Structures are given as structure tokens and as C-alpha cells.
Structure 1
Amino acid sequence: MTDHVFYSWSAQAELNPVTITGASGSYFWDDQGRKYLDFSSQLVNVNIGHQHPDIVAAIVEQAGVLTTISPTVANDKRSELARLIAERAPGDLNRVFFTTGGAEAVEHAVRFARQHTGRTKMLAAYRSYHGGTGVAIGLTGEPRRWGTEPTNVDVVRFFGPYPYRSPWNTSSPEEETAAALAHLEMVITLEGPQNIAGLILESVVGTNGVLVPPPGYLAGVRELCTRYGIVYIADEVMVGFGRTGHWFACQAWGVEPDLITFAKGVNSGYVPLGGVVISEEIAQRYDHTPYPGGLTYSGHVLGCAAGIASIQVFERDDILGHVRAVGEEVLGPGLTKLGEAHPSVGDVRGMGFFWAVELMTDKGTREPLTPFNATGAAAVPMAAVTKAAKERGLWPFVAGNRLQIAPPLITTEEDIRRGLEILDEVLEVADGYTRN
């Protein structure tokens, strides 16, 4: 079945992928009849859950009317979804440029920033992932960039806050914020603010750790960007559309970026869709000057129909309220309790339905269960933990030395508790690799 498929981020001859044949709600199953509780939302994108009947019906209905149409013409579904997104975005972010995914959204956000400022240089964090295409992978700070270099992207990197592994050895969230902002301003000064077009930052860092910004950090980034005329791009491809209990994660801190990139949760990947939400100041540049960019499938009508239906379900079923309540009352406390019970757990952090359990061999030294970018024998402990989870019917999102917990946003309290019970057993496997 896999002979002719070339898989992403993989050594092709070493693959033995599970064959998935169906899914429903928070579960999916394979061709052997094994059922998995999806604690990863696949790639943190199936926010509405698998095979939601309202979304499927919206796609089917739209397919019966119009399956595709050029982005050079108007369409009711495209216009309606843009309106719904703009109404839920912060501040005056009032226009939407549609793409087919997050990487394309980042590519165009950078283009907007460079054209708006007349500058070229971009700032991006080391612990970041922004997509696999040219500019997006060039902005990415983590090791998946290495195999594509040189990327020829004019980018300078900085350290974002990470209280558990503070680059500045701080002792409180407030100190971490102050140190991170001082560092960022120093980078801006040394690079020359007159050269910097934009700064791109995941509102909550995703694959690289579920790093929730400490109080005041995002507001401080916003202030620095405003002061130096830098376009602030919030990358919300992973955390937008309810993942943190807000339409956009930056809203949890009352911050208004200049551009927001989105994809994944906008329609849970039922049909590929992404985009950039654009502030009026930037969008008005193109009122009488053509924008130099476009995509054949920009605002694909099937994707937009799914997005409209998804937002309607979110509001009808109060999914944002569900995520906040269950995240605060069940998932977060449950993970914290597991952290206290298992010597392999060094840190638990997150919000809403987005959490990380960072695993250690030694809590005292904070030595990770697997080293940074581990391969071969060094990666065995996390591989064993992952295997234990899947054998017990739990599908986690695994990154580095972390189990990252991101269930579909419709997951019930009962299923969250079931997942926590399985994690309790799985962490016993991790405990076997500790020196405590």
C-alpha cells in the first residue's frame, strides 16, 4: 500500500506506517481493528473532531452546487468565511487572503511585511516551526531547517521565553519576560531596526514545546514592533481557532498583531485551507496597487464551506467555553497530578487543549529523556514511551522529549479522563529510564 507514496520528514525504507481506515469524533482506527483515542488531533489540526456530520454535510452540499472556481471572481462562501474570520480577529485585522495551508500563509505574510516596510530582514525565534516551503522553512528555527540549507532567507534569530529552561537563568515568569524582551531589543538594535521588515512569532510555541508566553511578553513584543516600525506577524497556524480556548491565542493576552497566519483548525483540515488576516493599514496599500501574489486554489469553495460550518458549530456548541472549562478543570490539573506522581516528568505546561509533558532522566539536573534532536540509540526512550501509548490505544503528539497533548476540541470530559488514565500507565515506562 505504501510502495508509491513518498512520505514527509521520513527515511522511506525505514517506514512501517499504520494504515487508518476510519474515524469518528475523538477516535480513529486502523485496518487491524485497533482503535485509538486521538490526543494529537493528527497534526494538531482536527479541532472539530473526525467526520463531524455538520462539516461533512456542508462539503457535500457545496459540491452539489459548485466544486471550484477561480480566485479572481467573487463567491458567497469565500466572502462569508472571510467575514466570519475578520469579525473574530482582534483589532482592525479586517481582510483575509486565503491560501491552501500554513506554509503558504507564512510566505505571503512575509511578502506583506516586506512590501509594507520596504525592508527585507525578518526576525524569528530559534524554537519555532513556520512551514516546509522556501521562506517558511528559512524562518524556522528548529532542526527540520538544517537539511534544506542554505535557504537564502534574510533572517535573524532570537531566543523566546522558556521559563523551565531559561537562557537567562531567571527565577520567575516576570523575570523571564523582562530578560526575553531585553534580549529581543538588543537583537533589534544590533541588526538595525531600519533593516527589519517583520517579526514572526508563534503566539504559543507549538511543536517546539508548547511554550506559553509569560505575562507581559507578547504585549512587550507588540510595543517593540510598534516602536521600531516592524510588522508583527502572529503565527497561529497551530493555535488558532480554539486550541487555547480563544478564536486566536493572542487574544488571551489582549494583543493585536499586524498580521495573523492561520490554517489547520479553520476547518480542521477537512479540505486544505489557510490564510493571512491583514490589518487595514497594510491592506490599504493595495486598494489601488495590485498585490503581487496569488494562488490557483486561494479560498477554495469546498474549504470555505467547511470553514463556515465549523465556525457555526463552534458557536452553537460553545466549543471555546468547553475547551476553557475542561482545560482548566480537568486536563491541566490531571496532567499536573501525573507530573507530581512520576519521576520522569520534569515540567507540565499549557492551556486549553494544548499541553506538554516534558520528560527527564533526572529531575534535579533537568536532563531530558532524550537529547536535543536525538536519533538512533539516543531516541530509544521516547520511542518506547510512544509505543506504550499506542499499544494502549492512545495516540499522542510526540516531539523531542515531550508528550504534547492536543485532543480534538470536542473531546468529552470522560474521554479526557480516560486518556489521562492511559498516560499514567505510559509514564511508568518513562520512569524506567530515570535516575531518580
Structure 2
Amino acid sequence: MNAEAADALAAVKDADRKHVFHSWSAQELIDPLAVAGAEGSYFWDYEGNRFLDFSSALVYTNIGYQHPKVAAAIAEQSARLCTVAPGFAVDVRSEAARLIAERTPGDLDKIFFTNAGAEAVENAVRMARLHTGRPKVMSAYRSYHGATSTAINLTGDARRFGNDTATAGVVHFWGPFLYRSPFHATTEAEECGRALRHLEDTIVFEGPQSIAAIILETVGGAPGVLVPPAGYLAGVRALCDRYGIVFILDEVMVGFGRTGTWFAADHWDVTPDLICFAKGITSGYVPLGGVAISAAIAETFARRPYPGGLTYSGHVLACAAAVATINTMEEEDIVGQSARTGAELLGPGLREIAARHPSVGEVRGLGTFWALELVRDADTREPLVPYNASGADNAPMAAFGAALKKGGLWPLLAGNRMHVAPPCNVSTEDVAKGLAVLDEALSVADAHMA
């Protein structure tokens, strides 16, 4: 590292330590990597270390870093019009909404723009409560919906614990997950049927007349890429129709090509009443989220003001990034590439690796969205680290993560899982390179088995 790079690194680290308050962290116990640049599927630090990003940042750089078409569109928009209040009609906002609506299932043709995914969830829940006049919202354990007030209470993983006020009108239930079935199922069909019966029982005992919405991640992201069994989402749709409940799908992480379709709901031909989106809509280049709204719910607010809004709703720079991202994905067939990468490279490659490593209990995923479930014992399925592990309890996963980074692969680790989520347009060569590093690093996980 030359003197100029060393000085730049020192300045960045010093300012970060003094002034940046990091999320989900004890501030004095972290030492963030200082990133100097990024392009495509890679980013690098000031010392020249390059990392193949198998996390897509936080699962949002769907078209990779610094795609020239999107960067140029943001620059062009900034030269023409940087911002305008959300109450005006403006070409780029209208175009972004049109392009999104064309890709949503069914009649979800109205788009309410937010700044991020958590705000999308907050507003979808608000719409559902106002539409139905009911207070409760049901969400699954093993879920993540964001860190704002209602969204974090809806969340079903351990990040809820430090924020849960038990006053948000949230009811949790168990969704299907055959590998760790809460229903003692032995087949996908059993898991699906028993999960739906459990959900209906919960609805009945909570009182259907009190339930505004059921919100689900179409494919559970943070809890471990939980792909629902065939028939489950259709079954939830039917229960919502039976009891007059709004069905919300949270596609913040899985929308816009991540699972090999524009929206993950397309895999199961299910149309919810509301879809929450963010992340991949702009590949994270400028923050943007939103809610796609069905005709019936939009009609509720046709002559009744919707009591919600955001200063930067439909920010024009973000909308320009969204238009360019969607058009680029269409022009370059990035959604199709994501599907092919999953079916031809990641799926077969990860299963082949798993066969060589006893610490891999299960491989699951779609498109460019996969997870390895790591275990201490393949027979008992005991997780490699305990639930919500920290400190010494998390040592096996920390050692595994360190081995991946040493090999030049930046991972996304959560609990006892590694999530494999490279950009949707990752190259064949980079998939092979990443899988080779993963294969070698798994020997570290194997060494920690019971």
C-alpha cells in the first residue's frame, strides 16, 4: 500500500470511528472494512484486496456495482432535475411506476413510493388496516420485515427482541420449513397441509374479524432462503379470501430478478393484495422502495385521503435509477440470467459441494438466492451455532467467515447459515471462483462438528 492510499485509509477509518453510528452493532467492538471502490461483482479495500461479493451488499446489487447504464441515467437526471416535491406529476416518477406495475402480478397497478423496504411494510400495513377497519396483522416466525416500529414487531427473528413492545397488534405463527419442521412433517405435502391448518387455527382463535392482514416474505430471506412448498402461498391466498384478510407479500429482498423471475410470487402464480418492494429496484444505487397496490385497495382511497406520505416519496433521482435498472435488466436479460445461474450453476454446484462436507445439512434456493444450512451433527440437525449466538458461541461461524474472506469471497452469514446471493448478472467464471473458495472454507466448518 502506497503512502497516499495509507493516508486515505487512515482518514476514512478515523472519521468512521469518530462520527458514524453503525446499525446492529456495539460501536466500540467493531472494525468495519474501509471500501475504496467497486465494480461488477467485486469491491476492494485501500490495501488492494479484492472481494468477490456473494452477498450483493445486503442482497440488493442485483445488477452489480457501478453498472454504466444506471450510473449514466442518474447523472443525466441530476443535470436535468435533481428533486421535486412528491405531490407533482413528473415524467420519471410516472415511468418508474408504469414499469413496475407492468411487472407485478394481477391488478397491482398503483405504486406508492417509499425510501426503503421497512417504510414499504409500514405503509402496506397501514393501508390494510384502513381498508379492513381491523387492527391485527399476522406474520411468521423466521421472518424479517425491517427495523422501523411496526416492521420490527412484525419480524420473527431475534432482531425483534430488543425492540418488541408487544403493542403493535402483531400475531406470529409458524410457516413451513420442512428441514426444521414445527409440524413433525416428513414430506413437503405434509408440511404444507399442516402449516395451513396451523395458520387457519390461529386465525380462528385470534378472531378473523380482528385481522387486517397476513404478511409473508414470498421466499424467506434473512431467516435462511426459505422456499415455500408447492401450494402454500395459494393456500394462504385462499384463507385470506375466506376471512376477508388482506394478503401482503414482502418482496423487498426477492423482487426484481433475485429468484429468477421479476417477482418471486411468479413462481407460484399467486397474486397478493399488496407487494412491498425495494433493494433490487435500483440495485441500491439510490434508495427507493414502495408498495404495489391492488385495484380494490386503491379504490378505498379514491375519495378518502390516504393518511400517509413521505417528503422524498418517488424521489426523481431514485426513480431515474429504477427506470434505468428495469430497462437494463430487460435489455440484458438479467432476470433470465439469474434463473439460468441458479438452475445450471449455483444449485448443482452447491449440492455437489454439500455432498463433500458433512457440515452442510441442507442446500436450498432459487435463481441467485441460495443458503447453506450448517450443522454440528448431520443426523440430529443440530445447528453449527445456537440460535442468536454471539461471542464464543458463534466461534465456528466466525472462523468459517474468516476463511471465506481470506480466500477473497465476501459472504453473507446469518445464524448457522451462509446465504449465497451474488449479483443476478454474475459471470459463470465468478460463480466457479466463488464456489471453489466456499468448498475450501467449508473444511473449517467441518472441523467444528460434534
Which residue number in structure 2 is paired with residue 83 of structure 1? 98
| Alpha-carbon distance in 2 for matches of 1:197, 1:179 | 23
| Alpha-carbon distance in 1 for matches of 2:166, 2:92 | 37
| Alpha-carbon distance in 2 for matches of 1:31, 1:170 | 51
Deviations 1:153-192 (A, max 9, x none): 0010000000100001111111110010000000000001
| Alpha-carbon distance in 2 for matches of 1:278, 1:328 | 31
Structure 1 residue 321, shift from structure 2 partner: 1.1
Structure 1 residue 149, shift from structure 2 partner: 2.5
SS of 1:156's equivalent in the other structure is strand
Structure 1 residue 405, shift from structure 2 partner: 0.4
- Opposite residue 258 of structure 2, the aligned amino acid is R
Which residue number in structure 2 is paired with residue 121 of structure 1? 136
Which residue number in structure 1 is paired with residue 432 of structure 2? 417
SS of 2:411's equivalent in the other structure is strand
| Alpha-carbon distance in 2 for matches of 1:181, 1:71 | 41
Is it true that 1:159 corresponds to 2:146 in the alignment? no
Which residue number in structure 1 is paired with residue 196 of structure 2? 181
Q: How many residues align?
A: 435
- Opposite residue 390 of structure 2, the aligned amino acid is T
Structure 1 residue 151, shift from structure 2 partner: 5.0
Is it true that 1:69 corresponds to 2:84 in the alignment? yes
Unaligned 5+ segments in structure 2 are 1-12
Relative to the length of structure 2, the TM-score reads: 0.96
- Opposite residue 43 of structure 2, the aligned amino acid is F
SS of 2:119's equivalent in the other structure is helix
Alignment of 1:331-350 (within 5 A): 331-350=346-365
1:258·1:279 contact (CA, 8 Å) conserved in 2?
Answer: yes
**Residue of structure 2 aligned with 1:393, choices 395, 403, 408:** 408
Is it true that 1:92 corresponds to 2:94 in the alignment? no
Is it true that 1:377 corresponds to 2:392 in the alignment? yes
Structure 1 residue 27, shift from structure 2 partner: 0.4
| Alpha-carbon distance in 1 for matches of 2:164, 2:348 | 42
SS of 1:93's equivalent in the other structure is coil
SS of 1:122's equivalent in the other structure is strand
- Opposite residue 316 of structure 1, the aligned amino acid is E
Alignment of 1:123-272 (within 5 A): 123-272=138-287
Structure 1 residue 254, shift from structure 2 partner: 0.1
| Alpha-carbon distance in 2 for matches of 1:376, 1:41 | 26
**Residue of structure 1 aligned with 2:45, choices 2, 22, 30:** 30
Which residue number in structure 2 is paired with residue 287 of structure 1? 302
| Alpha-carbon distance in 1 for matches of 2:131, 2:64 | 38
Which residue number in structure 2 is paired with residue 403 of structure 1? 418
Is it true that 1:314 corresponds to 2:326 in the alignment? no
Which residue number in structure 2 is paired with residue 299 of structure 1? 314
SS of 2:43's equivalent in the other structure is strand
| Alpha-carbon distance in 2 for matches of 1:318, 1:227 | 39
Could you tell me the percent identity over the aligned residues? Answer: 59
**Residue of structure 2 aligned with 1:329, choices 330, 333, 344:** 344
| Alpha-carbon distance in 2 for matches of 1:312, 1:150 | 42
| Alpha-carbon distance in 1 for matches of 2:164, 2:112 | 29
Structure 1 residue 94, shift from structure 2 partner: 0.5
Structure 1 residue 32, shift from structure 2 partner: 1.2
| Alpha-carbon distance in 2 for matches of 1:424, 1:17 | 26
SS of 1:17's equivalent in the other structure is coil
Farther off after superposition, 258-267 or 145-154: 145-154
**How large is the RMSD of aligned CA atoms in angstroms?**
0.7
Unaligned 5+ segments in structure 1 are none
1:77·1:301 contact (CA, 8 Å) conserved in 2?
Answer: yes
2:152·2:164 contact (CA, 8 Å) conserved in 1?
Answer: no
Which of structure 1's runs of 4+ aligned residues deviate more than 2 A? none
